[in-house]
């Protein structure tokens, strides 16, 4: 231990953290099995191993640790989150625990890293963005295949919105690294404008308004900070022109994809119902998907006849992380989270690397106002990185020597975290292998309750049961799925099963509830038509048939064509 150079330890920490920033998006794309949880487990195991290595090198040598206000705020928020995970009505999800564990370890590793090695993290993020930009451009010219059946460019991500968010972070960090070089284009710095040009082109191709704003806002803030104190920019008409330009830009972005923007407004309004139900402590971490669609049904029920009914769709995302935190963690969680951000930003003007980290964090949270970075692990890991950097060089709140007993305790905690990650992976691997091998079909009494938190697994299992005519087993799996991710599509599936079983009242209840969630979807109305046909209610069937024929829909697909055909045939027979 005594012969391990100090810089060697910092090199190891910086290379591992930098490697995560560069390769995590690529790994996430390559290991999409098991609902994409493998990259989370790999990240946690890698970071845990490096932290154990640090404890081995420093923990038994009475290392001095300094705890500041940012560390305390971060710890309070994490402790509250752990409490809400363990004490709530939400079905326990081990993946959420693994995610939070990994984010904490990354924050600790960044805090342990010395200043001169932080540049490695910025270079890594810039490199990661460059790799993604090249992949995206190659996808655009059809030399690589996109990861989405609809969108042409996604990089290593599953969606162009995720892709744009990662590029935004890389562009802002790269731009202000170049700024430190006085925007020089000499031989040593020419790669900055070249790399940034490629990334900006890829960002524009991503067509993500949230990502565009995430780049524009920090640039505008820096411009205002640098130039509004100069004589020319002090004139009121210059500042007014700047404000008008921003307003025009925001309105233009709204009308650029008006339908998409209106869906977000509907989501935010509906989420308020969830906040009202549990304003103080929230519904529990991981509860948004279980509660959103019923809240949307309530909102639409109170706003009958509005435009919202035409754009309502199945959704499980808040499209705003502050609303998301309020729904799941309540006012307490929102205050702790906001307090962490406030203290992270305060007093960072003179901190080395503070400006880049602040602008990176601003980029992340502008993106979070209109998207869902907490659901995108390669972007989510940037949060503890930026917070950890801003937590450096603060006045210590607590100073202590790391004793051997404390080191052993930390080793125990990290060891338990590794054990929990491994067991969670084994659980997922066993469940999906059993699903793939048809074990649940051969023995439909086989226990899968340990996966009752996983909506994708339950859906695949229910469809597999249905394919093999195990109706009751499929119904049971879909009921479990309804508890964690209710949607109008799922309710229609349940309604069809009840219809098959001739349980018409239950089928009607499912279709009516589905219609409240998404009034513009034709499937619930078509289901009600089938129920009334089975009951022989001719008058109601005629009304529903006319409604199906005249109903405006967003997309005309096979379901719509089939429903309209049957509706016309029914009317013609009358």
**DSSP per-residue codes, 345-402:** HTT-TTSTTHHHHHHHHHHHHHHHHHS-GGG-HHHHTHHHHHHHHHTTTPPPSEEEE-
* Residue of 85, 163, 92, 105 whose CA lies nearest to 129: 163
Q: Look over the chain and give the mean of its residue pLDDT values, rounded to a whole number.
A: 87
Task: Look at residue 3 in the predicted model and tell me its pLDDT.
Answer: 47
Q: Are 17 and 106 in contact, with CB atoms under 8 Å apart?
A: yes
For the segment 15-38, the average pLDDT, to the nearest whole number, is: 82
Contact predicate 222/359, CB 8 Å: yes
Residue 132: its pLDDT value, please?
Answer: 94
Rounded to a whole number of angstroms, the CA Rg of the chain reads 27
**Alpha-helix residue ranges (DSSP H) falling in 438-554:** 439-442, 455-467, 471-484, 488-500, 504-517, 522-535, 538-550
Contacts of 110 (CB under 8 A, 6+ apart): 17, 118, 121, 384, 385, 388, 389
At residue 572, the pLDDT reads 85
pLDDT digits (tens, 9 = 90+) for 310-369: 888 999 999 999 999 999 999 999 999 999 999 888 876 655 667 888 889 999 999 999
| Predicted model pTM | 0.90
DSSP letter at 159 equals: S
Average pLDDT score over residue span 404-409 = 88
Q: What average pLDDT score do residues 425-442 get?
A: 87
Residue 5: pLDDT above 70? Answer: no
pLDDT of residue 1: 38
153-211 pLDDT, tens digit per residue, is 998 888 899 999 999 999 999 888 887 665 556 655 677 888 999 999 999 999 899 99
What are 207's two structure tokens? Answer: 């067509």
Q: Greater confidence, 254 or 134?
A: 134
CA angle 560, 561, 565 (to 5 degrees): 115
Q: How many helices (H) and strands (E) does the chain have?
A: 25, 2
Range of lowest pLDDT (177-191, 331-345, 444-458, 509-523): 177-191
Asked whether residue 275 carries a pLDDT value surpassing 70, the answer given is yes
């Amino acid at each position: 231990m005594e012969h391990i150079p100090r810089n060697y330890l910092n090199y190891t920490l910086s290379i591992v953290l930098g490697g995560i920033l560069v390769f995590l998006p690529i790994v996430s794309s390559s290991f999409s099995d098991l609902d994409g949880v493998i990259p989370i487990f790999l990240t946690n195991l890698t970071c845990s191993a490096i932290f154990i290595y640090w404890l081995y090198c420093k923990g038994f040598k009475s290392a001095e640790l300094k705890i500041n206000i940012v560390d305390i705020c971060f710890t309070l928020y994490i402790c509250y989150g752990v409490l809400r995970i363990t004490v709530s009505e939400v079905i326990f999800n081990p993946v959420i625990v693994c995610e939070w564990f990994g984010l904490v370890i990354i924050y600790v590793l960044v805090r342990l890293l010395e200043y001169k090695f932080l540049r490695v993290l910025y270079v890594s993020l810039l490199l990661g963005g460059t790799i993604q930009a090249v992949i995206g451009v190659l996808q655009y010219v059809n030399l690589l295949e996109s990861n989405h059946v609809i969108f042409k460019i996604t990089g290593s991500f599953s969606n162009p919105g995720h892709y744009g968010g990662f590029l935004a972070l890389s562009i802002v960090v790269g731009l202000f690294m170049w700024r430190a070089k006085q925007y020089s284009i000499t031989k040593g710095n020419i790669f900055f404008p070249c790399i940034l040009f490629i990334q900006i082109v890829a960002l524009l191709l991503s067509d993500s308004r949230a990502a565009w704003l995430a780049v524009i806002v920090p640039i505008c803030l820096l411009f205002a900070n640098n130039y509004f104190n100069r004589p020319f920019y002090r004139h009121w008409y210059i500042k007014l022109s700047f404000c008008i330009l921003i307003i025009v830009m925001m309105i233009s972005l709204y009308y650029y994809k008006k339908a998409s923007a209106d869906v977000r407004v509907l989501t935010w309004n509906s989420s308020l119902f969830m906040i009202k139900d549990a304003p103080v402590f929230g519904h529990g971490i991981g509860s948004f998907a279980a509660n959103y669609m019923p809240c949307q049904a309530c909102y639409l029920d109170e706003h009958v006849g509005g435009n919202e009914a035409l754009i309502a769709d199945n959704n499980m995302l808040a499209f705003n992380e502050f609303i998301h935190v309020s729904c799941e963690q309540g006012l307490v969680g929102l205050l702790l989270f906001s307090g962490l951000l406030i203290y992270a930003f305060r007093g960072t003007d003179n901190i080395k690397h503070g400006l880049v980290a602040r602008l990176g964090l601003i980029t992340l949270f502008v993106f979070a106002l209109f998207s869902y970075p907490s659901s995108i692990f390669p972007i989510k890991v940037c949060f503890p990185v930026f917070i950890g950097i801003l937590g450096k060089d603060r006045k210590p709140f607590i100073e202590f020597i790391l004793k051997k007993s404390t080191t052993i305790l930390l080793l125990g905690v990290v060891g338990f975290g590794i054990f929990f990650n491994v067991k969670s992976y084994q659980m997922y691997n066993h469940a999906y292998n059993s699903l793939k091998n048809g074990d649940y079909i051969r023995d439909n009494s086989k226990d899968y309750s340990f996966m009752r938190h996983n909506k994708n697994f339950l859906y695949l299992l229910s469809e597999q049961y249905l394919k093999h005519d195990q109706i009751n087993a499929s119904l049971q799996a879909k009921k479990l799925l309804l508890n964690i991710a209710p949607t109008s599509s799922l309710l229609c599936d349940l309604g069809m099963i009840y219809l098959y079983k001739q349980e018409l009242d239950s089928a009607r209840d499912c279709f009516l509830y589905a219609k409240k969630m998404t009034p513009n979807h034709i499937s619930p109305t078509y289901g009600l038509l089938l129920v009334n046909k089975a009951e022989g209610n001719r008058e109601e069937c005629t009304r529903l048939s006319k409604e199906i024929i005249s109903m405006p829909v967003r997309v005309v697909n096979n379901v719509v064509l089939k429903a309209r055909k049957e509706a016309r045939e029914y009317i013609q027979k009358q």
